[in-house]
Amino acid sequence: MTLIEHAPILLIAIPLLAAFLTPIVGRVNSLLRNFEMIIALISIEFLAILLSYDVIRNGIRTYTLGAEIPGLTSPAGFPVRIILEVDAMNAFISLIASSITLIVAIYCLNFMKEQRILDKFYTLLLLLLTGMLGLTLTGDFFNLFVFLEILSVSSAALIAFYVQRGEALESAFKYMVISSVGALMVLFAIGLLYGQYDLLNMAAIADSIQGSFLDKVALTLLISAFLLKAGSVPVHMWKPDAYGEAPAPVSVLLLTSALVSLYVLFRIFTIFAINPVLLGWILAILGILSIFLGVSMALIQNNLQRLIAYSGIAEIGYIILGVGSGLVEFPSPTGFGFTAISGGLFHILNDTLDLGLLFLIAGAIFYLTGKRDLSIGGLAHSQPTLAVFFLIGMGAVSGLPPFNGFASKLMIYESVYYLNPLLAIIGILGSILMLAIFVKVFSAIFLGIPYDKELRKIPGSMLAVMGILALSIIFIGLFPNLVLESIITPATKALINPKNYIEAIL
């Protein structure tokens, strides 16, 4: 057996094992604990890269737990075991999740250094990664529910990590209530599908689905639950509180988990394909509403992390606007439909980098000053590097060239224009307002007379992590075709060809 054969299960098993080892190792030595965690995350990153390269080059890979041969999925003519299924689409998402978690972990080595409960923090971080990778790679609905719960519980605990702040506990409680509602919807939907087809495997159900009333109810519940986890309008209410009160690096992980939820949503849309044109229009309209509400609410915020959170709602809107517009052409999106879906998936990557950088900058500002509001002023005099990073993040999230956000947003604008010019115009106006908002933020925090209070020194590891994100933003902005051809186009083709996903199991 080769390493690549077991890579799907190792991607889930390694962070789960490391999560339980971390507090034990931490009791021995804190440096050894940090080393163990980073080695585990580097191993996961290596496996994610290896698996992505393999599925892009050789096609879908399946892994059947408990089978003598990992690729044996249907010994009785239908799937009877827990199955992981990896194609170019979920390999792309798993690579994003593992990369961002590694970056956040390195950032936290000094950001969280003074906290006395780091063992718990790193355990929760690894459990959150387990939940994200499990959601991404699983091929059956019941384990989808299990990993959703792992993700929700670990996320709620991380939101409440600053236990001395009552607002953090309140936000964590809200998130847990909302997550419980979403989990119940998922569980009820699973029950409806299992009651009809005696199956839990997603590909097998997709092959058997008849489009009955109960099927439509189940899919509506699933779509609602994952829109809720993604934080799209009209179920976005938890997002500003959670992102605003969590530690800044945790907000980056919450953002990534929201994008993982979008992947699950898109997979459900494509493999079940019940009324795809109607669903595509619904997504496109929700995308426009998310852009409008996110930008409008960001205008009036005084808390930096809450402002970025509302910007995140708008950026989620661009993703679902692109993918929704492409689904209108389903089941054979060509031309503008293919470009729209590619732009939406490309924006998942760019959104993670752009908003991730802005959240980490917000964390660095909090580390320096102990403040989260915009009434700081003059930081550029003593922190020019941080100011440059902010300008890069600001340009990227606003869709300015030569940054990465320009490439994906341009694809979305051009393709959505063919569907309805008004949608493209609203999207462009949203980006213009986004730029105005962040110009105001830059002026409030970095310009003016020098900051007159004592500042701490930003550790080199935090600056290095922000530098990696900033360089990635510029590189993708300068060479978007390289990323499109190597990663995004294979992911788009995998998503819009659900027949291959289904036949790999059956």
Give me the pLDDT at residue 211, please: 81
Buried b (16+ CB within 10 A) or exposed e, 173-194: ebbbebbeebbebbbebbebbe
Give me the pLDDT at residue 71, please: 66
Give me the pLDDT at residue 375, please: 80
Provide long-range contacts, Cβ within 8 A and 24+ apart, for 471-476: 472/353, 472/404, 473/350, 473/353, 473/354, 473/357, 473/392, 473/393, 473/396, 473/403, 473/404, 473/405, 474/392, 474/402, 474/403, 474/404, 476/349, 476/350, 476/353, 476/404, 476/407
Give me the pLDDT at residue 41, please: 95
Q: Helix, strand, or coil here: 73?
A: coil
Q: Walk along the chain (506 residues) and give the pLDDT tens digit of each residue.
A: 588 888 999 999 999 999 999 989 988 888 888 899 999 999 999 999 999 999 999 989 988 887 777 766 766 556 777 889 999 999 999 999 999 999 999 998 888 765 567 788 899 999 999 999 999 999 899 899 999 999 999 999 999 887 566 678 888 888 999 999 999 999 999 999 999 988 888 988 988 888 889 989 999 999 999 999 998 888 888 888 888 888 889 999 999 999 999 999 999 988 887 788 888 899 999 999 999 999 999 998 888 999 999 999 999 999 999 999 998 887 777 778 899 999 999 999 999 999 999 999 999 998 888 888 888 878 888 889 999 999 999 999 999 989 999 999 999 999 999 888 999 999 999 999 999 999 999 999 998 787 777 778 888 889 999 999 999 999 999 999 999 999 999 999 999 888 888 888 87
Instruction: Please report the sign of the dihedral spanned by the C-alpha atoms of residue 246, residue 251, residue 255, residue 260.
Output: negative
* CA distance linking residue 42 with residue 48, whole number of Å: 10
CB-based contacts of 296: which residues, under 8 Å, 6+ apart? none
Q: Could you tell me the residue ranges of all domains in the chain?
A: 294-506
Give me the pLDDT at residue 67, please: 73
Give me the pLDDT at residue 79, please: 72
In contact, 152 and 179? CB cutoff 8 Å: yes
